[in-house]
Amino acid sequence: MSWLDAFLAHGGRLGSHPDRLLVPGIEASTGSLGHGLPMAVGIALALRAKGSSEPRVYVLCGDAELNEGSNWEAILLTPSLGLTNLTLLVIDNHSSSVGMAPWDVRLEAFGWRCHLVDGHDHSALEMALSSHDRVAPTAVVADIQNGE
Give the CATH number of the domain where residue 122 resides: 3.40.50.970
Domain that holds residue 61: 31-143
Q: Does residue 54 form part of some domain?
A: yes
| The predicted structure's pLDDT at residue 53 | 67
* pLDDT reading at 109 higher than 80: yes
How sure is the predictor about 108, in pLDDT bands with cuts at 50, 70 and 90? very high
Q: Are residues 10 and 55 in the same domain?
A: no
Q: Are residues 77 and 24 in the same domain?
A: no
**What whole-number distance in Å separates Cα of residue 48 and Cα of residue 31?**
26
Q: Does residue 125 form part of some domain?
A: yes
Interval 119-138 mean pLDDT: 94
pLDDT > 90 fraction of the chain, expressed in percent and rounded: 49
Q: Are residues 92 and 112 in the same domain?
A: yes
* pLDDT reading at 26 higher than 80: no
Interval 90-119 mean pLDDT: 89
Q: Are residues 93 and 117 in the same domain?
A: yes
Q: Does residue 2 form part of some domain?
A: yes
How sure is the predictor about 148, in pLDDT bands with cuts at 50, 70 and 90? very low
